[in-house]
Structure 1
Amino acid sequence: MELFFLFSMGFGKELLLLGLACALGNCVLRCENGFSYNRTTKNCTDVNECSENPLFCGNHSRCFNTFGSYYCQCQPGFSLARTKEVNFTATTGSCHDINECTDSENKEELCGPNGECNNIIGSYWCNCSNGYTNYSVERTPCSKLDCDNFRAEKKPTQLLGGLANIMSMMRNSCLALSGTGSKVKLDGDALLEKLFTETDAMLSPGTPNIDASVSGLLTAVEKSILFIGPQLKDNHTKMENNKIDAQIAVQRGTTRPTGDIRLSSEYAYLDTDWATAAGTRKYPGFAVAALLSYKNLESSVNRSFEMVKGAKENGADPSYQVFSKVVSVVVSNPSTQKLSRSVNITFRHLEDIEESVNVSYICAYWTETGAWSTDGCSKQDSNASRTICTCNHLSSFAVLMALHPIEHTYGLELVTKIGLTISLLCLTLCILTFKFCRSIQGTRTTIHLHLCICLFIADLIFLAGISQTKPVGGCRFVAAMLHFFFLAVFTWMLLEGVQLYRMVVLVFNATMRPLYLYAVGYGTPLFIVIISACVRPNGYGTKKYCWLSTDDGFVWSFFGPVCLVIFVNVFFFIITVWKLAQKFASLNPDLSNLHKIKAFTVTAIAQMCILGLMWISGVFLFQEDPPIAVSYIFTIFNSLQGALVFIMHCLLSKQVREEYANFLSCICTSQKKRYSDLSTTNPSSSQSQGSKSGQQTGESQI
């Protein structure tokens, strides 16, 4: 009855009765091993053996409590002895030291071939031979120290004082670290601070011959950072003074580090990864990556741009200047001449200046020979305040601002604006002449009218939008319109050649219906533009001009039809001249008509030569580096072609001159008549006005 009461009180499953002894009415309740009876809760609760007796597991082991029991685990560097007991206790003394130097599977790689492994309780340490070190990190393989890296190639008296001090300090520290063959405790942070102090003194204003020692300084600081990095206490160290800013990251361990590296300062931002920093050679147990920014070194390296491969503008070489702080990227990877993955460096400009026709930005690095070079570096993106560079090798970098000469650009713009303005005025006169001059109306005049209309619109768009490259959509529209109207000009010129051929060969019915002329004159270029836009819509618009791109030969969607028109017209003109010669040699030639056709042919050939020469030079103009002479030839022909068309088709035409004379005589006659009318009517009117005024005066007097 009492046993049933105990279960009914809710002791649960943890309450396990191993025996129930009753004497004189008293019952004794017993719990399982690992549990104890709680009189307050009247329940069996778990016993934490690890807290009650920390020595349950013995030395060099850790105790872990479980529900109703516990288990032991050996600390790193110790292993479990082979005993019959699964859960050993303090009495077994089962955890014993592992001799990594003899029992490890990779014992030969623990300290490397130039290090001696020494076992200690729970661990080991490497004793490196002379010339090798593990940078006081006990369980790190021994790496070779080449202290000759800090040996000055020149005599100390020939070196700049600060640079000689840096080299001497680093060489002494290197020898102290590797010369004794024992563990040498060096303070990497203190050594880094000394390096910064010497660098600050060397870059102070008034230091003589600093420009000549820049390459040596950059190399010495990079080597020093590689030597100091493994000795730093923290995984990330930042140190800054008046002349230099350093961000240093260190990873230590028995396995190669992975993941991204992002180091930033006020002047630059580095984006790379630990695989690049560690390299592919044997891993020494650590990896270092550093970003060094020099605050006032740009003035000392603002020279030696002979190796810079910058784009030319207007056929002239640009001038350069350093436009960011000089930045060095240092990693422990010994092979940085050809990285498997490029590093990205973002530079902040010294001033906020947008790229333009005469300003561009170039990524460059400082070579060991003391000059800037662009090999292996390219610009990924740029705006007014910063430039992102990507490089497949590591060194000291900076952004160069290229200043392109603008004298030729200004001259070309001036010639273009003046010439196209004259051309537009002359084309306006041509359009009015061909539209309203009745004596010259016909198929040929219709062709000339629409040729001038297309040329007028093309020149107007060229003047207003050829250089308006932003926005991109607007630039593409301008390029497409220029493509259409210039093609239409050549199409109407082809129709003129066909018409001349018909006038000579087909004496009768030589006219062509206007509907057919419009269909060919505007339909053909429209068809070509639509096909070109469908095949490659991004081909319209370039970085410099709103014209057809030269990539993949897209520009030949214009030059191809132009060449075809020129060749066909040459064929027609040869036949026309041949037929004219035959007719002049005939017995009864119609001299007046033949002389008229001859004049038409000469003007058509001259017109074709003008437009042909313009676009032959245009083939070279839109290349990457057009010669300045080609630019001027194209600009002159393009800007004056309207004036030349007016001279050839209007001023040199006898019929048109007669119409101009009649028009001017009519204007003069009407003006004379108006003046004579005024002179005959004025007296009477004055008299009448006088009489009226007199009457009015008289009336007023009455």
Structure 2
Amino acid sequence: MGDLSEKNVQDYSKMANHILNTSTLSNWTLVPQRNAGSVLLTSLHALASSVASNTQPLPNVTVQEEFLSLQSQHISGDRDFTFYFNSSSQPVSGQILIEKAKARGLTDLSAVSLAYPTLGDILPTESENVSVNGLVMSLAVSANISQIFLKFEKVNKSLSINTHCAAWDKGKETWSQDSCQKQEDSATHALCKCKYSPNYLSFSILMSPKANSDPALHYITLIGLGISICSLVLCLMIEALVWRHVTRHSTAYMRHVSIANIAVSLLLADIWFIIGDATFKAKSSNVCITSTFFTHFFYLSLFFWMLLMGLLILYRLFLVYHDMSRTLMLATLFSVGYGCPFVISILTLAITLNQPGKPYTREDGCWLNWDPSKALLAFIVPAFIILAVNAAVTCTVISVLLRPSIGQTPRTNERGYLVQIGRCVAILTPLLGLTWGIGIATIIEDSSVVFDYLFTILNALQGFLILLLGTLMDPQVRRALKTKMSSLPWHTSETKNTSSNPKCHSQSPHGNKTSDEDLS
């Protein structure tokens, strides 16, 4: 822009202030160029750069408009310097800290900073569910600075979690989280450390309107995981205790192999989830990556073993007279149950770590990243495909239950059918992972918070449901436990209860009865 006078800066700032007025922001939707906001930001930063590098240094200039603030300072001496901004259009503030140590030994520099309370509304984001939640602040300096610190006051203070520090990528014309790290985060403010380079000159914080700051969900999760872990340990102990008695024929054997591995996978996934939560608070990145990998792997193993459980039910229903050797069946089960999750997990880790700017973990926890790497798809896609298959399995079981047995008049006992269906659905739902289907409702924008609570409670207690419905409600397990208990020396003689509980029977296409002991 050549040499500038203070009046030129004032006039240019007033024009930009008019453009950024909240009353004119709606007109930006009529602008055909999607990058119009980026063009304006680049133009204003060029003004600041011209002031900072002007051949005839201006005296310290301060412009305080309603929708734009500009501060020009000549900094001398070996000291840090901070720009302070207070917006008059919105009750938010911001600070930019320049560390003299990062100015590569220079004792004098000119710095010009700008702050915009409304510019973030017209700069595009990668997702409609993400918005700028603070001032957009820019910096132009006459020296080479490697990094700066920025403090943002949040506009919407109800979004107190999932804060992302971001820099505007001038080349890609989008927000990038790669060059910034969150240092502190509270309900009202966020502190960011950002790299300063020719491509990253403007900064702000991004937040999601979908973020739920209710701490009750966090406590429900931790309490539920504690109950789930204890239940899964008890489930595995019972399975080991009665294993010889309940696995005498191949169908029951494969069923209990599946239940045991479902319990093992969920137990280890829950443990690594807790390790990840503790690791994130300790801010250990390497351990966070490790815990994310194993959490991802074991949750995927859980889903693949639930898929195998569903396929075993179909196998038992429609291939009654076909028997596969135990060796071949076990090899198939373990290859799918642990092999497929391992391949998916290791590929996700390798791809994201080898792509600069595509982080593996989230900024707000030890779990798979969504923006910008989309690593979370490596969990969402296989999980929901498996849920769809198992939902179809459940519908198939219900349709088989509704078929009358040979020689039986259809619908002779309507209530009995409903009891059988309800009992089998209750057993199959946690074993096939159908409670995870509620997660679809939680990711829908503006969905009720009821779905968040329901999803959190059911899945945090999934281990307890597996113990209750998958193990303790199995008549064979109860009989084996009773036999074990009666063999104890201190056990007194009791009258054996010979009455049997109602069975969930289904008729195979071949006319054979199949009990819930075999199906679920």
TM-score by length of 1: 0.42
* Paired letter, 1:291: S
Matched, 1:415 2:220: yes
Query: Residue type matched to 1:635 in 2?
Result: T
Tell me the equivalent position of 2:490: 670
- 1:455 matched to 2:455: no
1:96-245 aligned within 5 A: 214-215=64-65
Asked if 1 retains the 8 angstrom alpha-carbon contact of 2:98 and 2:148, the reply is no
Q: C-alpha separation between the residues in 2 aligned to 1:493 and 1:485? A: 12
What's the offset of the Cα at 1:459? 1.8
User: Quick one: which of 327, 333, 338 aligns to 1:515?
Assistant: 327
**Alignment gaps of 5+ in structure 2:** 15-54, 84-96, 153-159, 184-191, 354-359, 494-520
1:490 aligns with 2:303: yes
For 2:273, give the aligned amino acid.
F
Relative contact order (C-alpha < 8 Å, sep 6+): which is higher? 2
1:605 to 414, 419, 428: 428
Q: Deviations over 1:173-229 (max 9, x none)?
A: xxxxxxxxxxxxxxx99x97xx56xx8xx9xxxxxxxxxx7349x98976xx9xxxx
Match of 1:181 in 2: none
1:475 CA displacement: 3.4
Cα distance in structure 1, aligned partners of 2:218 and 2:141: 48
Give SS of 1:468's match.
Answer: helix
Change (3 A) 1:626 1:440: same
**Of 217, 236, 239, the match for 1:434:** 239
Select the residue among 434, 439, 454 that pairs with 1:617. Answer: 439
Q: State which structure, 1 or 2, has the greater radius of gyration over its C-alpha atoms.
A: 1
For residues 560-579 of structure 1, what are the alpha-carbon distances to aligned partners after superposition, in whole Å with 9 as ceiling and x for unaligned? 44344344444444444444
Measured after TM superposition, the shift of residue 462 of structure 1 is 1.9
For residues 584-632 of structure 1, the C-alpha deviation after alignment (integer angstroms, 9 at most, x for no partner) is: 253599x9xx9999788435532256x23426617966x9999966654
The 5-angstrom pairing of residues 220-369 of structure 1 reads 291-292=110-111, 307=120, 329=140, 346-348=147-149, 361=165
Q: Aligned partners of 1:646, 1:548: CA distance in 2, in Å?
A: 29
Give the match's secondary structure for 2:213. helix
Whole-angstrom distance in 2 between the partners of 1:404 and 1:317: 7
**Contact kept? 1:549, 1:555, Cα under 8 Å:** yes
Question: Does the residue aligned with 1:387 lie in a helix, a strand or coil?
Answer: strand
Q: Structure 1 residues 664 and 409, CA, compared in 2 at 3 Å: closer, same or farther? A: farther
State which of 345, 349, 361 in structure 2 corresponds to 1:542. Answer: 361
Seen in structure 2, the aligned counterparts of structure 1 residues 515 and 348 have a Cα distance that, compared at 3 Å, is same
Distance in 1, Cα, partners of 2:390 & 2:195: 52
Q: Structure 2 CA distance, aligned partners of 1:267 and 1:625?
A: 46
Specify every segment of 5 or more residues in structure 1 that has no aligned partner in the other structure, as ranges: 1-141, 155-187, 203-212, 226-236, 247-263, 272-288, 332-342, 365-373, 674-702
2: distance between equivalents of 1:671 and 1:646?
25
Distance 2:103 2:316 in 1: 74
Q: 1:360 to 1:491 in 2, by over 3 A?
A: closer
Contact 1:359 1:404 in 2 (8 A): no
In 2, Cα distance between the equivalents of 1:600 and 1:153? 71
Return the alpha-carbon distance in structure 2 between the equivalents of residues 508 and 502 of structure 1: 10
Q: Quick check: 2:167–2:200 contact (8 Å CA) kept in 1?
A: no
- On the 8 A contact 2:438/2:451 being kept in 1, the answer is no
What is the deviation of 1:420? 0.7
Contact kept, 8 Å, 1:504 with 1:580, in 2: the verdict is no
Question: Are the equivalent residues in 2 in contact too, given 1:614–1:638 (CA < 8 A)?
Answer: yes
Query: Does structure 2 retain, via aligned residues, the 8 Å contact 1:434–1:446?
Result: no
Q: Specify which of 464, 467, 492 is matched with residue 643 of structure 1.
A: 464
1:520 aligned partner, one-letter code: T
Residue identity opposite 2:328 in structure 1: Y
Q: 1: CA distance between counterparts of 2:403 and 2:13? A: 89
Q: Residues of 2 paired with 1:624 and 1:467: CA distance?
A: 29
Note the alpha carbon deviations across 1:227-248, whole angstroms, 9 max, x for none: xxxxxxxxxx8768x99999xx
Q: Deviations over 1:291-335 (max 9, x none)?
A: 2479xxx9xx9x957947899xxx99997699xxx986489xxxx
Contact kept, 8 Å, 1:269 with 1:346, in 2: the verdict is yes
Give the SS at the match of 2:361.
coil
| Residue 340 of structure 2 is aligned to residue 528 of structure 1 | yes
What is aligned with 1:479? 292
SS at match of 1:542: coil
Q: Is 2:244 the partner of 1:445?
A: no
User: Relative to 1, partners in 2 of residues 1:321 and 1:215: Cα closer, same or farther, differing over 3 Å?
Assistant: closer
What is the distance in 1 between the residues matched to 2:361 and 2:462? 25
Structure 2 CA distance for partners of 1:477 and 1:619, relative to 1, 3 Å: farther
Q: Which amino acid counterpart does residue 455 of structure 1 have in structure 2? A: L
Kept in 2, the 8 Å contact 1:318–1:405? The answer is no
Q: Distance in 2 between matches of 1:435 and 1:153?
A: 76
| Structure 2 Cα separation of the partners of residues 517 and 626 of structure 1 | 43
- Secondary structure class of the residue paired with 2:461: helix
Question: Does the 8 Å contact 2:166/2:205 carry over to 1?
Answer: yes
CA contact (8 A) 2:303 2:383 kept: yes
Give the Å deviation of 1:402.
9.1
Shift of 1:362: 5.6
Query: What secondary structure does 2:64 align onto?
Result: helix
Cross-structure match for 2:314: 501
Q: Report the counterpart of residue 584 of structure 1 in structure 2.
A: 405
Is 2:276–2:366's contact at 8 Å kept on the other side of the alignment?
A: yes
1:504 Cα deviation after fit: 3.4
Cα distance change, pair 585–221 in 1 and its aligned pair in 2 (3 A): closer
- TM-superposed CA distance for 1:503, in Å, is 3.5
TM-score of the aligned structures, taking structure 2 as reference length: 0.54
Query: Residues 600, 506 of structure 1: CA spacing in aligned structure 2 closer, same or farther, 3 A cutoff?
Result: farther
Q: Is the 8 A contact 1:566 1:612 kept in 2?
A: yes
1:681-700 matches, within 5 Å, as none
Structure-2 change in CA distance of 1:461 and 1:267 (3 Å): same
- In structure 1, what is the Cα distance between the partners aligned to 2:149 and 2:403? 76
How far off is 1:427 after superposition? 1.3
1:129 maps to none
Q: 2:301 matched to 1:468?
A: no
1:670 is paired with a residue whose SS is coil
Aligned AA for 2:219? L
| Structure-2 separation of matches of 1:393 and 1:500 | 56
SS in 2 for 1:565: helix
User: Amino acid of the residue matched to residue 388 of structure 1?
Assistant: K
